[in-house]
A and B are shown apart, each in its own frame.
Chain A
């Protein structure tokens, strides 16, 4: 790992100031995506801005018909939250299946969503529930936030502060994990609620995406069989040593059906 300067600001405003002053700086919370990237020298930030001292970024609360989760909230906290379990059990289920216990004890929702790894779980839930991403300067709809592999709408001096999930009528998540790395080969997050009927696929492509043909089929009839006739095109899906694009395309259909069953 290359060395870097380390800052630990006490407020969002101070963190933004530091970030704006240094275009090569990166923010860090749990560090469970960033540190592995730094070890591989895939990234060479001049400084790391540690957000863990900012209390405003923590916590889970119900606001009206939404659940708002602070950026620094760790996966273990979402997985075991009574508020999340009561309102969006699929989200608690998803959080409880990210990585392993030790990863869930450090990794945060803000880090996962900002990083937008194609094999991450959270982007599927954020887009699959039609959530709104709150940042240090604005609110961004999930549909506009994710822009492909490791790319989001976040600007260089913008920090993700919270995510607002509208409470759905029903939602479900299913994924096929790579048996060695446990990263998602293909996953599906389905929901029905204030944001319409959504079928979102993660892990299979270069970024999380809505499967609109499946959404239309599911909107017409909410049943696992509804998506059975919808074929996922293998074109553009990931193909690597872990699985071909064709295999992932097949998994998309299977995971969508399982997610619908999980949603009930």
Chain B
């Protein structure tokens, strides 16, 4: 079986996988990082989004063997070692941007990439368009959009804390 060596949340792993093993299967089944979800399995819903070398991708449509040498970040890798949440996680909590939570890991990972790629800031419309690849079937998106706007302000240094940004 092919051997894949990759960094996941800062830790290097060397794992034997089948050629057909998907990145999300490697993460969930081999590394037991079950925060990354599988929703549709057809690259539409975005529940499986992780970062590869800093960019958001759908891990259900990425072969693990093609990630040899890559740096992967999952939802488990966002919070600080002392448990302090990433501003995007904190904003999702503060703004009640989740109900069942199934889509949340993917939403958070997509949102961080979106915000990082737009240091100039994002309009509400741009946030909504940026979430095209992430489906949520219960919140109605409004609070997700608000959370991302608040987190963007904090990530770009326009506000100090998510709590201060909450209306």
Residues of A with C-beta under 8 A to B114:
101
Are A101 and B110 in touch, CB under 8 angstroms?
yes
> What is the 8 Å Cβ interface bit string for chain A, positions 1-20, against chain B (1 contact, 0 not)?
11111100000000000000
Residues of A with C-beta under 8 A to B63:
6, 28, 31, 35, 48
User: Which one, A5, A39, A101, A181, contacts B19 given CB within 8 A?
Assistant: A5
A26 within 8 A of B: no
Looking across the interface, which residue of chain B has its beta carbon closest to that of A182?
Answer: B132
Residues of A with C-beta under 8 A to B133:
99-103
Residues of B with C-beta under 8 A to A100:
46, 132-134
C-alpha spacing A31/B61, complex, angstroms: 7
Looking across the interface, which residue of chain A has its beta carbon closest to that of B109?
Answer: A102
C-alpha spacing A53/B20, complex, angstroms: 18
Docked complex: A35-79 residues within 8 A CB-CB of B: 35-36, 38-39, 48, 50, 52, 76
Residues of B with C-beta under 8 A to A99:
133
Residues of B with C-beta under 8 A to A52:
66
A139 within 8 A of B: no
A32 within 8 A of B: yes
Residues of B with C-beta under 8 A to A4:
19-20
Docked complex: B40-89 residues within 8 A CB-CB of A: 41-44, 46, 49, 55-58, 61-63, 65-66
Are A106 and B61 in touch, CB under 8 angstroms?
yes
Tell me the count of chain A residues lying within 8 A, CB to CB, of chain B: 26
Whole-angstrom distance between the Cβ of A226 and the nearest chain B Cβ: 31
Most buried by A among B43, B44, B65, B133: B43
B90 within 8 A of A: no
User: Which one, B2, B19, B20, B49, contacts A102 given CB within 8 A?
Assistant: B49
B39 within 8 A of A: no
Looking across the interface, which residue of chain A has its beta carbon closest to that of B2?
Answer: A6
A212 within 8 A of B: no
B18 within 8 A of A: yes
Are B58 and A36 in touch, CB under 8 angstroms?
no
B113 within 8 A of A: yes
B121 within 8 A of A: no
Residues of B with C-beta under 8 A to A221:
none
C-alpha spacing A48/B64, complex, angstroms: 13
Whole-angstrom distance between the Cβ of A164 and the nearest chain B Cβ: 27
User: Which one, B41, B42, B57, contacts A106 given CB within 8 A?
Assistant: B57
With A31-B63, A39-B41, A103-B43 as known contacts, state yes or no: A3 contacts B56, CB within 8 Å.
no
With A102-B110, A103-B43 as known contacts, state yes or no: A32 contacts B61, CB within 8 Å.
yes
B35 within 8 A of A: no
C-alpha spacing A106/B42, complex, angstroms: 15
Residues of B with C-beta under 8 A to A28:
63, 66
> What is the 8 Å Cβ interface bit string for chain B, positions 119-144, against chain A (1 contact, 0 not)?
00000000000101110000000000
Residues of A with C-beta under 8 A to B65:
6, 50
User: Which one, B20, B22, B41, B55, contacts A105 given CB within 8 A?
Assistant: B55
Residues of B with C-beta under 8 A to A76:
55
Are B19 and A106 in touch, CB under 8 angstroms?
no
Sample (7) of A-B pairs whose CB atoms are under 8 Å apart: A32-B43, A38-B20, A100-B46, A101-B56, A102-B46, A105-B55, A182-B132
Q: Taking beta carbons and an 8 Å cutoff, which residues of B are in contact with A?
A: 2, 18-20, 22, 41-44, 46, 49, 55-58, 61-63, 65-66, 110, 113-114, 130, 132-134
